[in-house]
Amino acid sequence: MKRADCAFCRGKGVDPFQLFYQDSICQVCCGRGLNSIPEHAVSCAYCHGTGVQPHRRLVCTVCSGTGSILTHEPTEPCPECNGKGMCAGEYLPCRTCRGKGLLSLEVIGLKGDCHV
């Protein structure tokens, strides 16, 4: 495990959107400003590593606000969302890869659910 600045609050330890009150602590890192990230983690495709859901002021539901996801090798980009984590015209995570943008090689042969 490696320590990295919290993606959601950018290492400041406070809620960047001040949803509850001005000095509320970050709900992802509990005010520490740091998170533990597994060694085999890659940047979250859905939120682009920011820890924030696209077009919203909420914690990313795919990576839980850490900005990274754990991968199990070997993986390939999701054929339904082309590794982007969301399908064209939608703001929800891809239903095939669950927003990760990656699929294990065993799952690649399954049919996806995205409709472009």
- To the question of pTM greater than 0.85 for the whole model, the response is no
Per-residue pLDDT of the chain (116 residues; tens, 9 = 90+): 889 999 999 999 998 888 777 778 998 999 999 998 888 889 999 999 999 998 888 899 999 999 999 887 788 999 999 999 998 888 899 999 999 999 987 655 554 455 44
pLDDT for position 114: 52
CB 21 within 8 A of CB 66: no
| 3-state secondary structure at position 51 | coil
In whole angstroms, what is the distance from residue 14 CA to residue 27 CA? 8
Beta bridge partners of 4: 35
pLDDT for position 115: 46
pLDDT for position 106: 67
